[in-house]
Each structure stands twice: as C-alpha cells, then as structure tokens.
Structure 1
Amino acid sequence: MANAWKRENSKQPKLLSPILLILSLCLLLLLFLFFFSARSPSNPPNSTLLVSPLYPIPSFNCLESPQAHPVVANIVENLKYPFLYSLSDFGSLPDKPHKNIVRLLKGKPFRKPDISATIQQLLEGMKGRNGLVVDVGANVGMASFAAAVMGFKVLAFEPVIDNLKRICDGIWFNRVGDLVTVFEAAVSDRIGQYYFL
C-alpha cells in the first residue's frame, strides 16, 4: 500500500485524439490562409504609365520589393482620417533621435506631419467625388496615405528605393493597395533619365 500512490501517478498522460489534432491543424491552416489572403496586392504588375511612346513607366511592384527592416508601425495622431506609418530602419540611434522615434519608444502615437493634415483639409470638400491625387516626390508616403485613407486614388512618384520600401510598408499596413500606385521615377518637365549620386 505504501507504493500505491506511485503507481497511480505514473500513468502516461493521454495523447490528443486524432480528430482534435486534425481540427487544430485545419484551424492553423485557415489562419495562415486568412493572413496571406488579406494582404491586397500593392500594385497590379501590369499597370504602366505612358509618358510618351518612348518612355513607358511600369509601376513599382511592392510584392517583389525587398522588405525594409525592421518594420515597426505606429498610428499618426490628430488627423480626421488617421493612418499607420512605418519607421522601418532605426539603424544606430543618434544622440538626438527623431521626435517620432522618441515617441514610439515611449509608447505614444506619431505626431501628425503637416503635409498629411494639409492634404486632408484640402481634399475634405472633394470627398465622395472620383478624384485622383498625384504625389510627386512622395518620399515615404505621408501625403499619399493621407489621401488614400479618405478613398482617393493616388499616383505616387518616388525615385529613391529606401523611400519606396517604406511606401510599400505603409500600403500594406493601411490596406490601400487598390488605391495607391507607386512609380519608381522622378517627375520633370523634360523626358529623359537622371541619376542620383
């Protein structure tokens, strides 16, 4: 009798039944498919802007772009139509880091950029119409996202690849792939090619 408690506790735990195991695998598969299907294609691969017969400009395909790293999103505060924005590469933090990096580290939302507030104020009276916003020199997309979250279609032109990666992050975060078309190009009054050094 002294060893009876050892025999009762030495029983092996029951394994999950095969039906429960199959159900859990199906649930994981459905979650996986949901998250990858929720990601709208950033730009249709065949959309092209025809500047002239000699210079067709294909749109920048965010899905084929190398991912910026690390991707950290935060909400832009104090806008009527808020959106998510990514600071994608902190690198080594300088002695005086950018105000939004400090706010992110403190757990606060990003301060609104003046360009985003201005764009939303200008477009407020036109909301509901079929409008097209052209963002020349889109930088990291603050004006593009401000317009896209209001429902406007946006053509964003940006020649710098690091900025394009951050625009792609923002397109994915805000789910505006059907509204924002990005072009890896500079805009000028002359047709030709320019190189940034």
Structure 2
Amino acid sequence: MQRRTPLHEHPELSIIEHSGWHEYRVDAPGRKHRLASRIPSLGGLWFDACLLLGLAYYWNAIVETLPRLAASALVTSLYLYSRSTQVLWESVMIFPVLGIQLETHRGVAGLSLLASRKFIPWSSLEDFLINEGIRGWDIRYYLVAINRTPQGALQLAVAFENILPRFPILLEVYHGVQEALQDENEHGSDT
C-alpha cells in the first residue's frame, strides 16, 4: 500500500493506492494531515477535559435537584453527540472491476465512529463530473456521480458533500475516476 499527497499546496488530499483499489481521501478542515501515521490527535480535546473538570467541580450542586441534573444530562448528551458526529474525512474509492464508493467518516479526535457509504457499480455509472453551484454569494465546484437506477431514472450522488474541497483537489480526483472509467469501458467493450 502506498500513500502520497500529490498537491503540495493542498495537503488535505491524500491518495492511497493498493493493488485492488485506490482511495482519494480529503481530510476535514482543521485536522492536521499526517502522512506517516493516522494517530488520533489529543490537541482538540482540551475543551472536553475542561468540561469534565467543570462537571466534577460542580457535581454536588448539579445532583441536588432533579431539574439541574436533567438539564446537565441533556446539555452534556447534546455536546457529546455533536462532538462524536463531526466529519473527519470523506473519500472516493475506486475498485477497478466493480465501481466507485463514496464515503463519509464521522467521529472524534481522529477516531472514526460512524461511516456512511454509497457504492455505485460501473454498469450504472453514467458519468462522473465537476459541476458548479451557488452557495450564498460564492460559486463552489463539486464532484457528482450520475448513475442510473434499476428503474431507469437518473440519480446524482455528490462526492465530498460535507467538506466541499477546492477545485485543484476536485480536478485530481476527477482525473483519477475518469481514467478508471475509461479503463473499465475499454475492458467492458473487449468482452
């Protein structure tokens, strides 16, 4: 397995190449890129530690009455939920014989707790392209996979929909998927 970062000015993009698949991974903003290892960073957990110390310090006052306990439990639960569902990275995985897979990983401090995946087989993939959209007063580019459902309808699947990386990153991923799509079309027409 080989990991590389092709764009020096955009280290959040890394390409992981394996004999059976390729992954184009984009780290969420604010995450430090580590080429050598993916050890979770403890630097972002300082607020969590302060919150825990504050709860311990005021524990006797919190458990005195039921409304305080309920309010503290609700606020703490909402905070923990929001921290554990942050987007860590999103990726486009290319499986040369099978298709592409769009992934979103969520978790806390570099530890992936939840992953959502959408697999699109080559047989239903119509095209993979860079599109542009308006977001507020800004024009943003995004990658979209156009695939056909079994009923014949067209369906759009947006890659990196939470992170929305900049154009040079999208262009690198676009070229990789188009190359794999072209190889699949050449191999598919041979059979």
What band does the TM-score fall into relative to the shorter chain? Answer: under 0.3
Relative contact order, higher structure (CA 8 A, sep 6+): 1
TM-score (norm 2): 0.26
TM-score (norm 1): 0.25
- Structure having the higher strand fraction is 2
* Higher Cα radius of gyration: 1
